[in-house]
Amino acid sequence: MFAGYHRADNFSGAPLPGYEAPGAWLEAEAADALAAAAARLEAEGLRLIIYDAYRPRRASQAMVRWCRDSDRQDLIDDGWIAPHSAHSRGRAIDVGLARSDGQAVEMGSAWDQFDSSSYLRGVEGPALDRRLQLRAEMVRVGFKPYAREWWHFGFDGGADVPVRDVAYACRDR
């Protein structure tokens, strides 16, 4: 697991609010589907890297603020940053592929790279093949891809799930 918004090496240059500890939560049905995809990929010598899963609402709000404060309204207008995210319902996940030793495989662009190279078909060759492999496994278990971001998948389990704002944090017992 990578949990990209817990660290500073994301598009904003800082950990986002609500990511006080690393983690990756999903609604149970989505988590079960993700585990099924991971098991099939493992049989092929691959692992999943989780960049983001459940996202506290405050983090989505911070992303929008960052865009506006950094004169990057284009990221909102062009659909890269959403003011309301399915991540805040625990029904969306950002994932990539790694070898069995955990080393990321080349996917043709970075996660959260906001340009056309991030589109599913924004690259060619082996990176496109890996994107298509990842997409096929995620779709097979019930996730819906977002063509503009090779890493983003949503899960629709049918039940209405509320937006949440529970932080990832270490808690004393």
CATH of residue 149: 3.30.1380.10
- Report pLDDT digits (tens) over 55-83: 999 999 999 999 999 999 999 999 999 98
In a domain, 85, yes or no: yes
Is 70 exceeded by the pLDDT of residue 173? no
- Over range 37-43, report the average pLDDT: 97
In a domain, 39, yes or no: yes
In a domain, 47, yes or no: yes
In a domain, 6, yes or no: no
Rounded distance between C-alpha atoms, residue 6 and residue 107, angstroms = 22
Burial of 171 (0-12, 13-18, 19+ CB in 10 A): exposed
**Which one of the listed residues 44, 124, 137, 149 is annotated catalytic?**
149
149 is catalytic: yes
Full domain range(s) for residue 85: 28-155
In a domain, 76, yes or no: yes
Rounded distance between C-alpha atoms, residue 3 and residue 12, angstroms = 14
Q: Report in angstroms the alpha-carbon separations of 125 from 46, 108, 121, 135, 149.
A: 18, 9, 10, 16, 17
Q: What is the pLDDT of residue 157?
A: 77
Is 70 exceeded by the pLDDT of residue 164? yes
Q: Which two tokens stand for residue 98?
A: 């790694």
pTM for the structure as a whole: 0.92
Q: What is the pLDDT of residue 3?
A: 65
Is 80 exceeded by the pLDDT of residue 6? yes
In a domain, 20, yes or no: no
State how many domains the chain has: 1
In a domain, 95, yes or no: yes
- What percentage of the chain reaches a pLDDT higher than 90? 81
- Report pLDDT digits (tens) over 84-107: 999 999 999 999 999 999 999 999
